[in-house]
Amino acid sequence: MLSLSIRFRIVASVLAFVACLAVPERSHADPLNSWKISCSVDAGSITKKGDVRTFKTSRNRCEGGIFGQRAEIYSGSIAPTTKGTWQFVTTFAMTSNSAQQFTLFQIHDSRLGCAPPLSMDVTPDGRLKLKSDIKTGKEESCIRGTLDDKLSKARIRRDGTEHKLSVLVDFDGAGGFAVSVSLDGVKQVAGVYDPSRQPKEFLSKKFYFKHGVYSQNMFDYVMTSRGMKVTKVR
């Protein structure tokens, strides 16, 4: 029969082995599914309970820019040389009496000036609009409208109705990507971000996702985002 000290050493070795196995799982967590609050927000403007995040009106506390309202979260980043396809999904609901246009989702690279590689807005009439610029110089030097400001046929309601949003992003590993957006299970808009005309010094150094409510003007709203996740599909 094993002595107490030997049994203790065996148990300790097993626990140490299990602990070592757990480390790679954490280190391999997908950065695009790891989220933080963008800059900071007014007290209570972003909360989370279970799998539901709630966004409310907040002053834009990020430096620079002309937009006055921001309650956003942002993901970890990947290198532009990363190749693969990720899917962002959430079930969201907007409640507001305002028709203010706002940005719901972005693929950003931390550029200052010009639209990011992808900005998805909700227009005053409720349609999804894809925007993108190619940055060619400092500040607002850019090629505008590289995604042709494509609009969805479906419309987002602002009466608290839930909509399921899916954004499929295929990164090509050369600094570009293709995007396809579906709403409530129906494909709405798609486009390609192609930086081939971009000067080398302004090429993206990283990509990350943003989600929330970002608008030029302040307006009253409450938006919930339920079951939000990002999954690498290939």
Q: What pLDDT sits at residue 149?
A: 81
87 within 8 A of 30, measured Cβ to Cβ: no
Report the distance separating Cα 61 and Cα 189, nearest Å: 31
| Collapsed DSSP state (helix, strand, coil) of residue 18 | helix
Which tens digit of pLDDT belongs to each residue from 121-162? 999 999 999 999 999 999 899 998 888 789 999 999 999 999
| Collapsed DSSP state (helix, strand, coil) of residue 94 | strand
Q: Both tokens of residue 55?
A: 């966004």
Where are the domains positioned within the chain?
Answer: 30-232
Residue (of 132, 123, 234) closest to 190 by Cα position: 132
Q: Both tokens of residue 165?
A: 């949003």
Residue 13 CA: distances (Å) to CA of 2, 5, 22, 114, 217: 15, 12, 14, 56, 59
Taking phi first (over 0 means left), then psi (-120 to 50 degrees means alpha), and beta for anything else, what does residue 37 get?
A: beta
Within 13 A of 139's CA, how many CA atoms are on the CB side?
A: 1
Per-residue pLDDT of the chain (234 residues), as tens digits, is 445 344 334 333 433 333 333 333 333 479 999 999 999 999 999 999 999 999 999 999 998 778 999 999 999 999 999 999 999 999 999 999 999 999 999 999 999 889 999 999 999 999 999 999 999 999 899 998 888 789 999 999 999 999 999 999 999 999 999 999 999 999 999 999 999 989 988 999 999 999 999 999 999 999 999 999 999 999
Outline where DSSP puts E strands in 45-126: 46-49, 52-56, 69-78, 83-95, 102-108, 118-122
Residue (of 173, 175, 170, 171) closest to 197 by Cα position: 175
CATH value of 30-232 in 3.30.930.10, 2.40.37.10, 2.60.120.200, 3.40.50.12240: 2.60.120.200
The pTM assigned to this predicted structure is 0.86
Q: What pLDDT sits at residue 75?
A: 98
Report the distance separating Cα 139 and Cα 92, nearest Å: 33
